[in-house]
Amino acid sequence: MDKLAEIMAHKREELSSRLRPVRDEEFISFGERRDSFHAFHDALASPDELSVISEIKRRSPSAGEIADIPSAEEQARLYLNAEVDALSVLTDEKFFGGSLQDLWSVSDFIRSHERATPSLRKDFAFHPIQVLEAAEAGASAVLLIARALDDEEMGELRRVADLAGLDCLYEAHDEGEVERILESNPLIVGVNNRNLSTFETDLAVTERLLPMIPDGVIKVSESGIVEPEDAWRARDAGADAVLCGEALMRAEDPEEFVAAMKEA
């Protein structure tokens, strides 16, 4: 079975008891309380160096168990000490070992830290309730996977994210998905080097797709960043940022690894 299809089928079943109509006012209330809009976008917009989004990920379908971390907060502490630009928190439990509680914990920690580092809710969104949950848990952005959404779903998720003051990281893996995303006038586009149907990874996907994305849009290379040299390759292809999870979760010295990536 197509792996993404399997994940989405489970996700729709998992959320069935939580789904309900969500009023625009519920999103607007978060937008009105937000200190700054586009915090996630702005954190990745450095003209001088490659930005790093570090991911908190316990396991994955491709890698199996990655790291038995004591808490998401402790991993966030390591990442902030490494001066990453943003955090990505997996909130899918079955396939990635995460939870919404991880996002809540990370957000609470960030609020007490001197560096106001923005965070992404990394999950398989298809319904506005997931955007509302992200806002409630303190995220600055949500992930929209083009392959998992039709145009109507993608547009509605973007609309309510805008109301809540959340950025959208759009994700593509092929040319058709990039073209669909660009119709939405995105601020941030991620190219996933991993095919979510097969979970095969190839950095050449970044090199092929990033030139399609216009100037002024933040370009992120996701997955397959195993060594600092992979980050350099992504930067040479035009990436403004890389999203790195497994390698950083396994790194003995995350600070050294992040510093090396930023040398790109």
| CB-CB neighbours of 13 under 10 Å | 9
Write down the pTM of the prediction: 0.94
Residues 209-264 have pLDDT tens digits of: 999 999 999 999 999 999 999 999 999 999 999 999 889 999 889 999 999 999 86
Q: How many other β-carbons are positioned within 10 Å of the β-carbon of residue 33? A: 10
Q: In the predicted model, is pLDDT for residue 192 greater than 70?
A: yes
d(CA 30, CA 40): 16
The two structure tokens encoding residue 159: 């609309």
Mean pLDDT rounded to a whole number for the chain: 94
Residue-wise pLDDT tens digits, 141-190 = 999 999 999 999 999 999 999 999 999 999 999 999 999 999 999 999 99
| Residue 83 falls in which region: left (phi positive, over 0), alpha (psi -120 to 50) or beta | left
Query: Cα angle at 205 between 251 and 212, to 5 degrees?
Result: 125
Instruction: Please tell me the predicted confidence (pLDDT) of residue 33.
Output: 85
H-helix segments, the chain: 3-15, 24-33, 39-43, 72-81, 100-112, 128-136, 151-164, 175-182, 204-209, 228-236, 246-250, 254-261
pLDDT of residue 40: 96
- Mind listing the domains of the chain with CATH numbers? 3-16+38-261 (3.20.20.70)
Q: What is the mean pLDDT of residues 63-82?
A: 90
pLDDT of residue 264: 62
Residue 90: is its pLDDT beyond 70?
yes
Angle between helices 228-236 and 254-261 (to 10 degrees): 20
Query: Per-residue pLDDT averaged across 7-25, rounded?
Result: 94
> In the chain, what is the straight-line distance between the N-terminal and C-terminal CA atoms, in Å?
38
- The letter for the amino acid at 218 is I
Do β-strands 241-244 and 51-56 pair in parallel, antiparallel, or remain unpaired? parallel
Which segment, 30-34, 59-63, 193-197, 208-212, is predicted with the most confidence on average? Answer: 208-212
Higher pLDDT, 47 or 17: 17
Tens of pLDDT, residue by residue over 107-121, are 999 998 878 899 999
